[in-house]
Structure formats: C-alpha cells, structure tokens
Structure 1
Amino acid sequence: MSEQLFKSFAIIGAGPNTGIHIVKAFLAIGAPILVIARPASTNVTALPADDPNLKVVRADYTSASEISTVLREHKVDVLISTVTLVFGGVVGQNVLADAAKEAGVKLFVPSEFGIKPQLAKGGLAFQKTDFAVYAKSIGLPTLRVFNGLFYEFVPWLTALADTGKFHIVNKGETPGSFTAVSDVAGYVAHILTTQPPSRLLDVEIQIEGQRATLSEIGALYKGRAPVVHCDALPTEGVVNAHFRTFFQKHVEAGGGSCGWNPVTESDDAESASKDNSRWEGHHWLTVSEALEQ
C-alpha cells in the first residue's frame, strides 16, 4: 500500500526574501497553502488577492496557543517557517515548534534555506543548530533544506548593492553552492506535495543550482562593476560590514558548499547536489541566467 501524501500546508514568515516565493510556488502547481501572518504585517499585500488556493490568517508568533489553535483549525500537516535570522525570528521558532507539536503537525520545515549553520555558540547561524536540537528533543520531525547561497544574496554579501563594486574578501577561489530563490521555492513545493512522508521526516536536503566561486561570479559583472579584492569589506556606507566579511571568510574556508560538514569542517563536493534528483527533469538556473532575470 502506498503512503498517503501530505495534503495541508501552512507557512509562517511569508516575507519578500523567501517566503512569498514559496507561497507562489505552491499556488503555481495548484496546491492550497495557508499563510499565517503577524497581526501588523504588510507582506500579505504582495500576495495574489484572488487565488482560491490561498488563505491568510493573522496570529501572534510569540503565542504557542494562538498558533496551535490556527494549525488545529486548518488541520495542517506541514508547517513551513521562513522567519528571518537577522531580526531574531529563528530564535522564536521554539514557540512555533511547541505549537506545531501540540496541534499534531506531522512535519516542520524550519528556516534553513541557505548554508549549513556552524555548531558552536557564536558561529555563523548557530541558532539554527540550536533549533534543530530543540525540535528533536520534543519529538517534532523536521525537514532541513540547504541550498548554499542564494544568487540574489551575492550583491549584498559583496557590498555591490552598497558601493557599486564587487568586493571579494581574500582570493574568493573556493567553490560554493549557489541556487536561485525561485528554484528553492519550487523545489520545496514540489517535494512536499509529491514525496511520501517516509522520504521527508527528519531528513536533511542538499541542493545546488551551480557550483561556483565568488571570483567566477565577479567576472560575470565585467563591464558593469569593478571587482575589488580586499582583506575586509569597507565599513563606510556598508551596514553589517564585519558580518559580511565574516560570512565571506566562512565561504572561502569551504562553508558555502552544501557538501560542507560542520563537524569535520570538510567539503564533499559530490554530495552538495545529492537531492537535486528529487525534482526530476527540472532545469536549475545558472548564476548567469539568474543575473539576467
């Protein structure tokens, strides 16, 4: 007897960076999705207003009982989180996990969608590691999706958007995984609606649109923006320059690859795209294709 697929999906954090793209990916394949928005959120104004497969409710993300009530009322099988790390949303995922567990949610997709977090306190995105440990401790199955760096993230990481120059810390010659937001969103919608639960529960997904170095990506801007190699990003006019420098150094060490192992601090390039095959026949955007869009 074949397994019954997940039928009911909800997302928390449908913001412009990742969440809204996942919502639209579900709608594109005709799959219903519930958006749980903060009471004062304006992000919902960017969502389609007349799609019968879209429903929006508002709830307090800090209230496990309020979120749990919404999840139970809509009989949600899978809860997707795209809350932001930068503004502390990932830290608040424990509340969402408690709500999901209490409501009988079958799978929680936490806000990973990027590189693998470091394990030690104070390491890059270590809060995501802490959440994974917490979810396991309460018996809540998770699906963690790692896609390396978003192509769309590169202009911010290199301070191109701030200075008009493509800054590369040190040599920028270590390969990393780069994936388009649209590919990640489409992949999430595809596997959650087509894969049996046994292939998704407590699984770590590794996908990669293209393997490239920052130097190779910088070369694509030839004629449009100068490439500058530096020891650190300039601080004038560049918000969080120290963090971006730290991030680039982590990529240079190998941490930008989906094949990166935070425990051994080594990279297995062949495993970086091991789960691309779950979306059979899909064309993954290259860096140059994504930049042209």
Structure 2
Amino acid sequence: MNTYKSFAVVGGGNVGLPVATGLAAQNVSVILLSRSSTKTPPSGVELVQVDTSDVAAVTAVFKEHKVDVVISTINATTPENAAAQKPVVDAAKAAAVKLYVPGEFGFPSDGHTEEFLGAKNKIAEYAKSIELPSARIYTGVFTEYIPLLTGYNVNGKIWVIGKGDTPVSFTFLSDITGFVVHALTTLPPSELENRTFRLEGDRATLNELATKFNTSVDHVDLIPGEGGDFIAHLLELSEAGSGSSGWDEANKREGSEGAASGNLSWPGHHWKTIKEVHNL
C-alpha cells in the first residue's frame, strides 16, 4: 500500500509539468519548486518560489509542506545541471523526505563516470551515501524527439555515427510521466526505495529507424548547427550501447534486468510504439 501523500516537483519542463498535473489529479498534495514567480502552475498544484541552490531555504519548504517524495525533473543534459541537484538532495535529507527521484529520464547513468551521465550517476550515488532512498528511472530516447535527435527534421535522413546497428530504447513522453505518477501513487515504498526502473516503449537500431521512416541513413562524423555536439555525443553513446534502458555500463553489455523490465510495474498499460507516435 502506498503511503506517500505529499510531493514536490523540481523543474517545470516537459517532464515536470505533466508529472505535477498527474499527481494533483490523484488528490495528493503537490508543490512545484521554481526560481521564478511568473510560471503558472497546473490546477491543484501550488507554485513555491525558492532558490533551489539554497539548502536551508529548500529544506524549510519541504518541512513546511511535509513533503514525502521529491521528483527532480531538472534538464540534466550537462554536468553542471546534473550537479545542481545536490542542494536539493541535501535539503531532502535534512527534511526527512522519504523518497528522492533524481533527474534521470534518459540513458542509464549507473556505471558512467564522465560527462553528463557521470554527473547524474554521481548524484544518485551521493543520495545513496547519505541514506536517502531513491528511485531511478531510465527511458532511453523520448520517442517524439526522434526527428530532432537523428537529423530527420533537417534533411529527411537518419544520422548515424558508426554502424547504426546497436539497439536503442524509445519511450513516449506521456508514457514516462504517466508511469511516474502511477508508480509513486500505487506502489508500496518497498517497491520504490532504492529501485531502478528501466522503461521502453519500443526498440530499434538507427538503421531500423530509417526503414520505419521510409528513408536512408546519413553516416556522419560531426553534427552541424546549435546543439550539434550534444546530439553527436548521444549518437556515440547509442552506438556504444548506452541508448538501451537495459544497458550495463560497468560490464559493457545488456544488464540482467533488461530494457522494459520496469514496464512490468504498470500492468495492463499500452506503451506506444514508434510507428504509433509518428503515424508511420
């Protein structure tokens, strides 16, 4: 039986706002932490303006609202953004928060030591070291972002760095946020604390993506334009195996839990495929 009654969402982007909205619909207390007072919160969600780098201030907010669960949805695609979660982790520990959900929602970070995935892993390991229970959620690539991250919206082809035959996990954003709400409001703490959930809506290599989109691959070494270096890094990680939500970086192979193993925690749910999301 789930015992969490009060939630705090940090970050109001594509993950944070739907999660806050979904939690509020479950008749639980939900606050949205923001540095800005101009953001409009979803119905049933209280906006709390606070400097999330100020441990004392955030601790006071968590205590005032008797927060049980903190969900970080900070866009941790840089080492600096990932590391910015540390004051929130410290505040959660000081306020006796029962569960922390770090800003993962992407490629598996466990076992990584470099770049943004290494920084994400460091935050999760830090939470463990101070005995703050956490739930890590890996999703692979957001399915609706395929055109943006593969170059399809640039030249109608699929960018590939390497051979393009390594499987990648793709999960629809609404499935991800729906899972977060479902898991945090229905699963007992024993099934959430210090657990890793590996989600997957669909699975394909980049070469297979080209077939699904009825196009060809474009083998590249560099990605042009703003954000090109980051996209190239994601493609390199995918080629190496890290794009799969079941990837075991320490052993450089698919792990024993496997991609989509976390899907079992939402029985009966239909996970949207690539073809369904993109009307292929």
Check whether TM > 0.5.
yes
1:99 to 69, 84, 91: 91
Pick which of 273-282 and 155-164 moved more: 155-164
Gaps of 5+ in 1: none
1:208: which partner in 2? 200
2:51 to 60, 83, 86: 60
2:263 to 276, 285, 293: 276
Query: In the alignment, residue 87 of structure 2 is paired with which amino acid?
Result: V
1:117: which partner in 2? 109
1:286: which partner in 2? 273
Please provide the CA RMSD for this pair: 2.2
Quick one: distance in 1 between partners of 2:181 and 2:2?
A: 16
Displacement after TM superposition at 1:269 (Å): 8.2
The 3-state SS of whatever aligns with 1:125 is helix
1:180 counterpart = 2:172: yes
Displacement after TM superposition at 1:148 (Å): 1.3
1:258: which partner in 2? 245
Q: Map 1:1-293; keep pairs closer than 5 Å.
A: 3=1, 5-15=3-13, 17-39=14-36, 42=38, 44-45=39-40, 47-48=41-42, 51=43, 53-86=44-77, 88-117=80-109, 119-123=111-115, 125-222=117-214, 226-235=215-224, 238-268=225-255, 271-292=258-279
State the TM-score, normalizing by the size of structure 1.
0.87
Q: Percent identity?
A: 37
State the TM-score, normalizing by the size of structure 2.
0.91
Gaps of 5+ in 2: none
Pick which of 142-151 and 163-172 moved more: 163-172
Q: Tell me the number of residue pairs that the alignment of Structure 1 and Structure 2 aligns.
A: 279
Query: In the alignment, residue 221 of structure 2 is paired with which amino acid?
Result: A
Quick one: distance in 2 between partners of 1:10 and 1:184?
A: 18
Query: In the alignment, residue 185 of structure 1 is paired with which amino acid?
Result: T
Contact 2:76 2:104 in 1 (8 A): no
Contact 2:51 2:57 in 1 (8 A): yes
Residues 229-259 of structure 1, C-alpha deviations (whole Å, 9 max, x = no match): 2132442xx2232332222122122211111
The 3-state SS of whatever aligns with 2:261 is coil
The 3-state SS of whatever aligns with 1:60 is coil
